[in-house]
Structure 1
């Protein structure tokens, strides 16, 4: 199935009856608390707040949030809230992670740790999902935050990981547009050559249950009218499910341009890790943070499980709630 808007995804989350447990690493952060408590009010998230307990309690009280719907996990001064979040994931106690008021490096260090982290697949990328004004359905986009200059091998991995995420959302056999500036294979333009190779790999079934179209320009990928005007004959023109950008900077610039339009809604998270990780910019607005939580809650797909959530910085087997 396809979704016309995030409202339909919210409906899917509500109808599923599943409530994802969200570990907020560095929870003494107003923006993170606003987003996670709003998600809790909508019914698809249960907050697990990791930080200095007295600071988190004080902030929750000052913001007049519903303390009863959250678990607070105390983080001692010599501990990293991200490390505690990772231990809770490994213990099966939470379903995804949200970056709170900590540095991105501090968040990623325990997640990517080769011995005790969450990088089971050995490849982590960023997955975006967007509601763009004028486009008829939600549109995914490949890495705009993690892999700066993906090789052909990297792009193949990105396609596999991101289309698996789309399949988890119920989007079967997604169509991926391998973006370039032209539709011909120009040997002087590596992104065109690699797009054609990815399309060939897709035809051979090497990229999973998806269709890769490319090289193709953005206008032809997203507009049937543009394709008709230019005489571009492809059944998927104007109806793709995902954009595969040639480099990280392309996706980064595109997303920031889209963000300038308040009618657009962007969401994103890390995938390839054992659980999704909501990694939004501190400057991200309320809508982006809320819908990133929605995306993670659906991709985390928790099975119904009783609480309590294990608490304790050193021993995830403890089960006391503050």
Structure 2
């Protein structure tokens, strides 16, 4: 159990084995500043992809950390295609979206012939240090799958808890969030939550516990659970919340991000390597923790190109 990102980083030291981050569209001041700060902390090596002149012009305005690699990608070419090739060739360990459209980044990643989507399923994964909660809390998709089916939710739980186990959480507890704790046919997400809980009891979701249907306050507060008479050994102590649909997670994450006491990180999972994909409005702190998260996942799972 890690209370902070600093504790997580200390538990999985990357000193001496920094992960190679392919920055697709690296002629971007925010992306370059983030990877250089991460390089200074010692957990990644920047692999910069884009027009050489544009990248060097931006680097000239920053405090550059050596070593870094630069792959010239002429204007008009998609740097994400080069990033994917580098990963497939074992020359990069994960990808960061720089100055390009998200669709241009994902197209080569998801390409069925030449991409990285080996499992045929990609989802978003958030990891958050929230003021008032006693440990890091993961959250399911807030950016990729708008209205997940029951089958999608099962895949999301499998992919995200696999990541949590790679970070040292041996048996993750997942709260399937709903507006109530009872199954109601008029509230479809309660039916999905109950089925996911049954699937976890049958061992169909790996070494994972799914609790649900359950509301956010009962999942994250023992006091609230006691007041409401909710009897569960996992009340107030879950490792991950599974949101019923994308908009719920998106709204929750933006509310949390507005509080400077909170620290968020996020990436895409399911592809051969993690993909750091933060909002354009994301703070430098969020960009850095997302790079740290991708570096740790790359280093601790078989998806890393040289893990």
TM-score (norm. length: structure 2): 0.96
Residue 267 of structure 2: which of 266, 269, 274 is its match? Answer: 269
Aligned to 1:44: 43
Partner of residue 102 from structure 1, selected from 97, 100, 103: 100
| Unmatched segments (≥5 aa) in structure 1 | 304-322
1:75-94 matched pairs, under 5 angstroms: 75-94=73-92
- SS of alignment partner, residue 89 of structure 1: helix
Does the 8 Å CA contact 1:20/1:302 hold for their aligned counterparts? no
Would the alpha carbon gap of residues 268 and 236 (structure 1) be closer, same or farther in structure 2, given more than 3 Å must change? same
Give 4+ residue runs of structure 1 displaced > 2 Å after superposition: 12-18
Shift of 1:79: 1.8
1:121 corresponds to: 119
Q: Is the 8 A contact 1:18 1:302 kept in 2?
A: no
Q: Deviations over 1:212-261 (max 9, x none)?
A: 00000000000000000001000000000000000000000000000110
Alpha-carbon shift at residue 187 of structure 1 (Å): 1.2
Decide whether the 8 Å contact of 2:167 with 2:300 is kept in 1. no
1:307 corresponds to which residue? Answer: none
> Which ranges of structure 2 fall in alignment gaps of 5 or more residues?
302-307
Equivalent residue runs for 1:1-322 within 5 Å: 2-14=1-13, 17-66=16-65, 68-301=66-299
> In structure 1, the residue corresponding to 2:30 is in which secondary structure?
helix
Q: Using the alignment, how far apart are the partners of 1:75 and 1:30 within structure 2?
A: 17
Q: Deviations over 1:163-183 (max 9, x none)?
A: 000011111110000000000
Report the alpha carbon displacement of residue 64 of structure 1 after superposing the two structures with TM: 3.1
- How far the C-alpha of 1:15 sits from its partner, in A, is 5.4
Q: Is the 8 A contact 1:35 1:290 kept in 2?
A: yes
- Distance in 1 (CA, whole Å) between partners of 2:175 and 2:74 is 47
CA RMSD of aligned residues (A): 1.1
CA contact (8 A) 2:15 2:42 kept: no
Q: For residues 197 and 275 of structure 1, do their structure 2 counterparts lie closer, same or farther at Cα, with a shift above 3 Å needed?
A: same
8 A Cα contact 2:166 2:300, kept in partner: no
Deviation at 1:16, TM superposition (A): 5.8
Aligned residue pair count: 301
Cross-structure match for 1:309:
none
SS at match of 1:301: helix
* TM-aligned CA deviation for residue 61 of structure 1: 1.5
CA distance in 2, matches of 1:194, 1:276: 27
Q: Secondary structure at the match of 2:60?
A: helix
Alpha-carbon distance between aligned partners in 1 of 2:104 and 2:32, rounded to the nearest angstrom: 19
Q: Is the 8 A contact 1:183 1:217 kept in 2?
A: yes
Query: How far did 1:12 drift?
Result: 3.0
Q: Distance in 2 between matches of 1:248 and 1:29?
A: 28
Distance in 2, Cα, partners of 1:266 & 1:39? 16
Distance 2:15 2:236 in 1: 31
- Looking at structure 1, the residues matched to 19 and 11 of structure 2 have their Cα atoms a distance apart, in angstroms, of 13
Q: Which residue of 1 aligns with 2:304?
A: none
Q: Counterparts of 2:138 and 2:164 in 1: how far apart (Å)?
A: 8
Whether contact under 8 Å (1:268, 1:279) holds in the other structure is yes
TM-score by length of 1: 0.92
